[in-house]
Amino acid sequence: MVKRITMDVHGYKVSFADRGEVWLQDDDVLYFGNDLDFSMKWDGTNLEILPVSDNAGSINIGDGETDVDLKVFLGASSDYVLFDVSEGRIDVFSAELRMVTTAKIEFTDAEMYIHGESNGVMAIVSDTTIGITAPTIRLTGNVTIPSDNYLYIRDTGIYIYSPAADRLEIKAASTGRWAIRLLPGTGGGIDLGGYLGLYSTDTDGAVEAQMWFRDTGDLVKYKAQAAVRTLVSTADSGATQDAIYPPGDIRMIPGSQIRLFPGATAYIVGAGTDQVHIVAESGASHAVYFSVGTNGCVNMSTAYLVLQITDTDSSQRGAVWFDASESVIKFYNGTITKTVATT
């Protein structure tokens, strides 16, 4: 049993344990300072350290030259906060640091901080710039950029921007060959679900030409200055379509066809590396015909132009061909070949 020794010193009672320790019981006060500037008291539940008046003085642990680590445990020997003097930092071990309600963690000044705006909403705020540097940055969840804000890439001349609720713009202020590139992976694609517009602008930012794609109707349209041309359309064969003016060769994979009308049986196909077939499975009087302008001609060079006549079961009934190597016209009636004309 611990014995208590009480002494009366100038009207104040001071108690000592039998081992020499100072013993302050519940509500006993330990004062500091000539004018009782600080007090320490255990009220049976809490230990209170109070100044004589609000915001007077401070409590220092260490002085910057002679310091000591401070460890505060949080319910378990592995859960604690360590004020580490040797590292000059605060470490939190196996515990959580929680900012309750809308309290902030501020950096440098009151304009840079992290805080919870509301339940479930975290805000990182800066009056100038927020930098995130890492080899890989992973964002799990949706990323929302509010209206009239830009997502800049590298600098302010390259950005993604939504000028309206139904539009997204990707801009690269560059004169390079590949200002903007869209590179889907193997077997991938770009799902439009609406429109994809490609714009060419002048040095003053004015749109000079544009091409846009959409998912229905006129799939590909091109506009230079004020003229609009439809390049690809899902409209039926009765619709008026514009011409396509390719800047160079149009090359087809061997065996692929150029269908003249959607769903029709008239087409042009490469039957081999040295043959081109024009097919029209039609009973019309002019199934296939060549029409050339004044003084025009069909130049065969050293090849052959064959007109083949087939039966309803696609079996050959006859053929007429122009033999450029012999400069003759020949006819085949299904059995024999005859020279129709010579030079």
Within-domain flag for 342: no
Indicate whether 9 and 71 sit together in one domain: yes
Within-domain flag for 330: no
Indicate whether 62 and 87 sit together in one domain: yes
**Residue 5 to residues 19, 40, 200, 324, Cα–Cα distance (Å):** 10, 21, 95, 134
Within-domain flag for 118: yes
Q: What is the mean pLDDT of residues 159-188?
A: 72
Within-domain flag for 41: yes
How many CB atoms lie under 10 A from the CB of residue 218? 19
Within-domain flag for 208: no
Indicate whether 67 and 106 sit together in one domain: no
List pLDDT tens digits, range 311-334: 766 676 777 777 767 777 888 877
Indicate whether 29 and 103 sit together in one domain: no
In the chain, the number of structural domains is 2
Within-domain flag for 282: no
Q: What is the mean pLDDT of the chain?
A: 76
Q: Identify the domain containing residue 18 by its residue range.
A: 4-92
Within-domain flag for 219: no
Indicate whether 14 and 82 sit together in one domain: yes
C-alpha to C-alpha distance for 71 and 81, rounded to whole angstroms: 6
Indicate whether 88 and 8 sit together in one domain: yes
C-alpha to C-alpha distance for 218 and 215, rounded to whole angstroms: 8
Strand partners, 201: 207
C-alpha to C-alpha distance for 286 and 282, rounded to whole angstroms: 9
Which of 45-54, 105-114, 145-154, 283-292 has the least mean pLDDT?
283-292
Indicate whether 14 and 30 sit together in one domain: yes
Q: Which one has a higher pLDDT value, 43 or 337?
A: 43
Residue 238 pLDDT: 46
Residue 12 has pLDDT above 60, yes or no: no
Indicate whether 59 and 108 sit together in one domain: no
C-alpha to C-alpha distance for 266 and 26, rounded to whole angstroms: 106
List pLDDT tens digits, range 49-81: 999 999 988 889 999 999 999 999 999 999 999
**Of the candidates 92, 108, 125, which is a domain's last residue?**
92
| Residue 312 DSSP class | T
- pTM higher than the cut 0.85: no
**Of the candidates 92, 127, 153, which is a domain's last residue?**
92
C-alpha to C-alpha distance for 158 and 14, rounded to whole angstroms: 76
Side chain identity at 234, as an amino acid letter? Answer: T
Within-domain flag for 85: yes
Residue 335 has pLDDT above 60, yes or no: yes
Distance of CA 172 to the CA centre of its chain: 15
